[in-house]
Amino acid sequence: MNGNFVVHPWKVIQTAFDPKDQRFAESLMSLGNGAMGLRGNFEEHYSGDSLQGTYIGGVWFPDKTRVGWWKNGYPKYFGKVINAMNLTGLDVSVNGERLDIARQEIIHFYRELDLYTGILRREMTIKTQAGVIKVFSERFVSMADSSLMALRYEVIPDFDADIVIKAYLDGRVHNEDSNYDELFWDQLDAGVVEHAAGAYLVSQTRENPFGTPRFTVAGAFRVQTAMDFVDYAVEDGFVTLEFASKLYAGEKASLDKIINVATDRDYDQEGLADYAKRFVRADAKLGYEVLKTLHTAAWASKWERADVVIEGDEAAQQGIRFNLFHLLSTYTGEDARLNIGPKGVTGEKYGGATYWDTEAYCFPVYLATAGEAVAKQLLHYRHNQLKGAYHNAAQQGLPGALYPMVTFNGIECHNEWEITFMEIHRNGAIAHAIYDYTVYTGDETYLLNEGLDVLLGIARFWAGRVHRNERTGQYMMHGVTGPNEYENNVNNNWYTNRIAAWCLDFFMDSFDRAAAAKKQQLGVKEEELAQMRSIVTNMYYPVDEELGIFVQHDTFLDKHLMNASDLKPEDRPLNQKWSWDRILRSCFIKQADVLQGLYFLGHLYDRDAKKRNFDFYEPMTVHESSLSPCVHAILAAEIGYEQKAVELYHRTARLDLDNINHDTDDGLHITSMSGSWLVIAQGFAGMRTTKAGLSFWPFLPQGWTSYSFRLDYRGSIINFEMNEEGVKLSLIAGDAPQMNVWDEDIVLETEWSKRRVEG
């Protein structure tokens, strides 16, 4: 970890300030509550390099993408999450000197994010022209009330001083990735409330030419302070309240800012200003301490279910808790209209939109740690957007439903052809989430109703996308991009062909068991089913019998094959050092591709097949996708490569904490954070789900003395612990489930343990 940051099991700690670390620290110190989030920006003015960011779930903008080489079927726009008004802003001056640590000498600096409580604290001692002052700040984004956040700010001079603090809302913000600093917001209303105890600001996204919704957001705050009110100012897109104190040396000026956010997604646009005023007059009067207590209690409840405890490796412990904290901060399952962006609410990269990452990596984690109801919201999200998936397929001249690679509303909004047109394997992840939910919960209700709607759309897409080779009678897919994005426009990507056939098979099996009324509603004819069966039976898969592997695509073995270890250090990472042309022509793999299929469909392949393919492909994999290490770690654990699994766990768990891919500055890798939990549960604990129940084949990583985690499984809460003696399972709540550990069938009634099995 960076030398200014400390490894701690429950905290992210920064012990010194370096301007070069500011964006990195802002990402690490981000806060959220599932409905909104903000980066770890300073409350007071900072003139140094910074990425100012406040993001509100479901609020986005369709940015222009039309270019001269436009092709039929291209998305009309690139959807992007947009920076919302600055809610936490303060302007602080001491004896007329504006506080700005980019310009003042820092004597002491300490900042910590407490993962258990979800509270960000900062202490610093600064030398100003008049003398030395101490500053303390603390803030949280409420996990108890999704519309609230609050901060406390204190200033203590070691000299007699005039302190002025201006608390403000600023809607005059722009995205860093916007063209020429263009603004995405129009300002509708602003004002002060209740004798200037608070203020509000209402902004609306600018009109766009794509017929997509315009969003209106109201921010409001109430100040609680013993400082004297001085004045207020209301400008276009800006409102501020000014407070002042005359202090003797050692005295403290303190101000609490209680903040509320409301949008027209939940309230009538015309009533947002009135709602903001009511908040200032009434709701905010609970005060900072009461709101903080409610917030920390909500976090304690989440950790009781989701925590993973590791003994013997503090860096591993910090990594998993850091990742779980940000996953739980990003998505709570309370709103089926929301999903999980690859950077969550910590930055602008990837547009803040929904990718296949949710179903492929995040879904099983929420299912096991947050419960069936939360996971089902993610399934509802895709079912609600099925109409958009049919639209996406029609744009390509194809039948059925093509789920988008990138979306806010179900319509594809990614404008890179090799992704939008070709990375169609994402359909398989949507279907696999339905399978995962059904097998894990044992409940087929969703599968045989709304799930069948989704599976039919996906099956019809695959049936229309393949073509039949008249010479061989086999079905193929040309012009695709597999999970390995370091190859585009290939023919017969093994994973894409395999997941397509599996989706067809899964649909037909589910359709056979559906109620007669549902079958009639879907209107599937026998001829259509016969065609699907033919595709499954006759799908072409590139293989090499001599090597004993599934070939990534038709011409992969024609490349100059070499190991990633043979690359020069100065060439890494490839995506920052090589031209795109050179990357595409190389053999190097960005992330699991064939191995992604062996992970998803692991129940269909034996250990030897997984080992042969792992041994061939992993050495060529550069892991330059954040989604890559976890899949490889899980497979490595299964085939007995324990040290490799632990090595890749650390890469997964500490990707952002250690800035391994040199890209944490622009936001955290939220969707890949789920990989650290998957490696522990599915890799080290060897957890697998079958229709008969849960099974485990655990081992204890070298250097660890124990690890434990809880599962919400079919209405039961189970605690799993592995230590140097062996494994112990405890039933915390619910009925006794059937399980299997090291090939021994058990019924877990209270507690069960077994000594460690070697080998």
The answer to whether 711 touches 718, Cβ cutoff 8 Å, is yes
The half-sphere exposure of 469 on its side-chain side, counting CA atoms within 13 A, is 14
How far apart CA 675 and CA 409 sit, in angstroms, is 26
- Residue 394's CB is within 10 A of a number of other CB atoms, namely 14
List for the chain the helix, strand, coil content (%; round to 5). 35, 25, 40
Catalytic pick from 450, 485, 487, 638? 485
How far apart CA 309 and CA 320 sit, in angstroms, is 9
Tell me the chain's radius of gyration from C-alpha atoms.
27
The half-sphere exposure of 370 on its side-chain side, counting CA atoms within 13 A, is 26
For 200-251, the DSSP string reads: EEEEEEPP-TT-PPP-EEEEEEEEEESSEEEEEEEETTEEEEEEEEEE-TT-
Residue at token pair 């436009």: 70
The residues pairing with 254 across neighbouring beta strands, listed in sequence order, are 154
Pairing type for strands 132-141 and 198-205 reads unpaired
> For residue 375, which phi and psi values (nearest 5 degrees)?
-65, -40
Which residues have C-beta within 8 Å of that of residue 363, sequence separation ≥ 6? Answer: 375, 378, 433, 436, 437
- The closest alpha carbon to 617, from 431, 479, 482, 478, belongs to 482
> For residue 30, which phi and psi values (nearest 5 degrees)?
-65, 150
Active-site residue flag, 485: yes
Q: Is 647 helix (H, G, I), strand (E, B) or coil?
A: helix
How far apart, in Å, do the first and last CA atoms of the chain sit?
33
Could you give the residue numbers annotated as active site?
485
